[in-house]
Amino acid sequence: MGERISNDLLQAGPSAEVSTTASASLAQVWAVFVPIDLAQVFPRGSGPIPAVVGTSDQTGPWDVVGSARRVRLADGTSVREEILGSDPCDGAAPRKGRARFAYRVDGFTGPLSALTTAAFGEWTFVEAAPDRTEITWRYAFVPRSRLAAPLLVLIITIFWRAYMRQGVENVRRLAEPR
């Protein structure tokens, strides 16, 4: 399953990657990440990319492959997320110093629906030391057409990376002990 998701990311189209290191154990980061409130991760937008205000219609636990939900955005639009991979899953703790979470986004109802049919996201967590966890988030869009691809690259370059940076830093901040 992991190889399929990595291939989906590679073949999807325009993409971005951001990373940070949390001063927290892998178990602590994972325990915060899986049930995290997306409105805390993305409380502000970036240019035309709106903030997240909440989620609805979740079909199962948020670390079980096949679970899906609708992500509600501040401009009234939404997207659908579905889990493609979670290791560990079913509430289990991370093992062997690694954890991974991958998902597909589709059902765009806003302006991005004119440019993309889907996107793939993948979060990886690697325990660098007992109280240090490297967090990496990769994201790739599937362009609706050849004409849409350059516009997606522009949006990623100007706005999406800033949105991702905000998100990964908020995950780090929420996972670190206070």
What residue ranges do the domains of the chain occupy?
A: 2-175
pLDDT value of position 74: 97
**Residue 103 predicted with pLDDT over 90:** yes
Q: For domain 2-175, which CATH number applies: 2.60.120.10, 3.40.50.300, 3.40.190.10, 3.30.530.20?
A: 3.30.530.20
Q: When comparing pLDDT for 177 and 8, which is higher?
A: 177
pLDDT value of position 178: 83
Which burial class, exposed, middle or buried, applies to 34 when counting CB atoms under 10 A from its CB (0-12, 13-18, 19+)? Answer: middle
Q: When comparing pLDDT for 123 and 13, which is higher?
A: 123
CA distances from 101 to 85, 132, 166, 169 (A): 6, 18, 18, 17
Q: Please compute the mean of the pLDDT values over residues 70-92 and round it to a whole number.
A: 96
**Residue 65 predicted with pLDDT over 90:** yes
In this structure, what token pair is assigned to residue 72?
Answer: 């509600």
Q: pLDDT exceeding 90 applies to what percent of the chain?
A: 87
The answer to whether the CB of 46 falls within 8 A of the CB of 163 is: yes
Backbone dihedral angles phi then psi of residue 93, each to the nearest 5 degrees: -80, 150
Chain centroid to CA 42: 11
**Gyration radius of the chain's alpha carbons:** 16
In this structure, what token pair is assigned to residue 159?
Answer: 């706005």
Q: How many CB atoms lie within 10 A of CB 174?
A: 17
